[in-house]
Structure 1
């Protein structure tokens, strides 16, 4: 069953990567990447369908395998996404891009593996849920503001990071809805951060640095979920010298890989044509 779970998670990562590459290609080729305009583009919708299939496969994988096996497989989407995006842009992926993405993937896997599993039922009070949504919105707003005057690669990363924070908040609420005790209004609240995150992510994709944006998303989403899980759901964080050192080394690798990817990831040719 563990092998099956790993295979499903890996296949889900491939679908997620293809979907993200398709959506970025369409966002970068649109003068203003608003959701209203993107919803009219069939290829963007196809990308959304692929992401949906990937998400379902990941959820099914979690049913058959432990989190410590399934979550690292999700990081493979970063390695799949760069060749997919390069193919859409009719170019070869650069060796520097793939090397930086591999470093980020190793760092994220290390971080996931040192987070202990939590066996209790998660729960959120109304006040905690409000704090979750308010905190995520505030961080995303700060990142959005900082992105406005930043260079293109940094702007793509900051916008995608804001989307990742909101997706992490959405994942935390979803975990409570699936496994724990919740209030009725939680069900209505879940779509709001997800939709804002989707809009922010398309703005990040439209900048043109797909590798940077996708890497920032892959970093911010799980780390935000882990942080909210620890602060609000009582989920454990790594303890002990070995786990702490591993987490620090993994975080350093992730940060270094993201910086390297920002330097090597090219602008989208389609985006270049629009902005001239």
Structure 2
């Protein structure tokens, strides 16, 4: 069963990576990287279907294998995504890009492995849910504001980080809903940060720096979910000196790999749609 779980998780990562690469290719080639225009592009929609298929495969993998085995394999999508994107743009992938992506993946795996599993069902009150959404929105707004004055590579990373924060907030709400929370407004509110995150992510993809954008997303999403889980849901964080040191080292690796990816050549020469 564990072998099946590993196979499903890796296949899910491949689908997720292919979908992200297709959406970035379309966003980078669009005159206006807004969702309205992208929704009319079949290849972008196919990318969305691939991402959905990857998500379903990852969920099924969790049924057949433990979280500590399946979850780290999700970061393989970063290693799959770069070759897919490079092939779409007709250029050769550099060894340094894969090495930087591997560093990010190693950092994410380290973070996942030292986070203890929750021992009980989560609970989120109305005030805490409002704080969750307000905190995520504020962080995303700050990232967007900082991106206006940043270089294209940094702008892509900041916009994708904002998207990752919003996706992390969505994941936190989804976790509460899946475990039986009956607050109907939670269900109504959950898609809102996800849709805003999707729009931010397409703007990040349009800048051409796919590596840094995808890496920033992969780092920000789980870190946000871990943080909200600990602060609002009472879920455990790494305890003990050894686990804390591993978590700090893993976070440093992920950050260093993302910075290294930001220094690579853009995947496309598309003009910056946010430039004035």
Query: TM-score range with shorter-chain normalisation?
Result: over 0.9
Residue 266 of structure 2 corresponds to 267
Q: Are 1:85 and 2:105 counterparts?
A: no
Residue 139 of structure 1 corresponds to 139
Distance, in Å, in 2 between the alignment partners of 1:250 and 1:198 is: 27
Q: Indicate if the aligned counterparts of 1:72 and 1:108 stay in contact, CA closer than 8 A.
A: yes
Q: Indicate if the aligned counterparts of 1:123 and 1:180 stay in contact, CA closer than 8 A.
A: no
TM-fit CA distance, 1:165: 0.2
Which TM-score applies when normalising by structure 2? Answer: 0.97
TM-fit CA distance, 1:272: 4.9
Deviations 1:115-173 (A, max 9, x none): 00112001111111111011000000000010011000000000000000000000000
Deviations 1:85-108 (A, max 9, x none): 000011111111000000000010
Deviations 1:4-55 (A, max 9, x none): 2221111110000000000000000011100000000000000000000001
Map residues 90-169 of structure 1 onto 2, 5 A cutoff: 90-169=90-169
Q: Indicate if the aligned counterparts of 1:169 and 1:228 stay in contact, CA closer than 8 A.
A: yes
3-state SS in 1 of match to 2:270 = helix
TM-fit CA distance, 1:268: 2.9
Map residues 60-79 of structure 1 onto 2, 5 A cutoff: 60-79=60-79
Q: Indicate if the aligned counterparts of 1:170 and 1:193 stay in contact, CA closer than 8 A.
A: yes
TM-fit CA distance, 1:270: 4.7
- Give unpaired runs (5+ residues) of structure 1: none
3-state SS in 2 of match to 1:269 = coil
Residue 242 of structure 1 corresponds to 242
Distance, in Å, in 1 between the alignment partners of 2:255 and 2:78 is: 15
Residue 252 of structure 1 corresponds to 252
RMSD, aligned CA = 1.3
TM-fit CA distance, 1:254: 0.8
Residue 4 of structure 1 corresponds to 4
Q: Are 1:42 and 2:39 counterparts?
A: no
Distance, in Å, in 2 between the alignment partners of 1:231 and 1:58 is: 26
The runs of at least 4 aligned residues of structure 1 exceeding 3 Å deviation read 272-275
Distance, in Å, in 2 between the alignment partners of 1:137 and 1:103 is: 29
Deviations 1:45-74 (A, max 9, x none): 000000000011111112222221111010
Map residues 46-57 of structure 1 onto 2, 5 A cutoff: 46-57=46-57
Residue 191 of structure 2 corresponds to 191
Distance, in Å, in 1 between the alignment partners of 2:212 and 2:272 is: 20
TM-fit CA distance, 1:213: 0.2
Q: Indicate if the aligned counterparts of 1:122 and 1:180 stay in contact, CA closer than 8 A.
A: no
Deviations 1:203-254 (A, max 9, x none): 0000110000000000000000000111111110000111011111111111
Residue 181 of structure 1 corresponds to 181
- Give unpaired runs (5+ residues) of structure 2: none
Distance, in Å, in 2 between the alignment partners of 1:4 and 1:127 is: 41
Residue 214 of structure 2 corresponds to 214
Per mean C-alpha deviation after superposition, the further-off stretch among 87-96 and 55-64 is: 55-64
